[in-house]
Amino acid sequence: MKSAVLFIATMVLAGSLAHAQTPTAADAIVGIWETGSGKARVKIDKVADKYFGRIVWLREPNNEEGKPKVDKNNPDEKLRTMPLLGYRMLKDFVYTEEKTWENGTIYDPENGSTYSCEIKMTDENTLDVRGFIGVSLFGRTDVWKRIQLKKKA
């Protein structure tokens, strides 16, 4: 009897350790994604139990003067000198149901606006990123594609 209890406890512990090391469905969003326009790439990471995305590549990283592009359209005047490269544009997403992340926001540096946002994964390499005001019905969806990094031989 004692050995049966020990065996069951060992199996439960082993199962929980295996589960802890296995990426969850929620983590499928982690990676580098190219926006629909192809102007930027965004790296999505998990921080604690939420997901955030920052700009890691710009097709045109510099302005006309050859200096790094900044957040010139930000409504907060103090932030208008902040570089776009590295800017955290996706914030506070939580995995709510199968292949859906909600309750976050997306910032559009082209117009300086922040929108409520929902992200749906249509396949392992495609995201539908929907920014909206109020309800999801009144918004716009952009299709992002996963960037496959080349592995060094």
The whole-angstrom separation of Cα 21 and Cα 64 is 47
The answer, as to whether pTM is greater than 0.85, is no
Neighbouring CB atoms inside 10 A of 123's CB total 8
For residue 136, the model assigns a pLDDT of 80
| Tokens of residue 101, six digits | 């992340």
- State the greatest distance between any 2 C-alpha atoms of the chain, in Å, as a whole number: 78
The whole-angstrom separation of Cα 153 and Cα 151 is 6
Residues of the chain with pLDDT under 70: 1-23, 151-153
CATH tag for 25-146 (out of 1.10.10.10, 3.40.190.10, 1.10.260.40, 2.40.128.520) = 2.40.128.520
Q: Are 40 and 57 in contact (CB under 8 A)?
A: yes
Task: State the distance between the two ends of the chain, measured CA to CA, in whole angstroms.
Answer: 53
Across the chain, mean pLDDT equals 87
Q: Are 130 and 140 in contact (CB under 8 A)?
A: yes
Provide the 8-state DSSP code for 29. Answer: G
Provide the 8-state DSSP code for 50. Answer: E
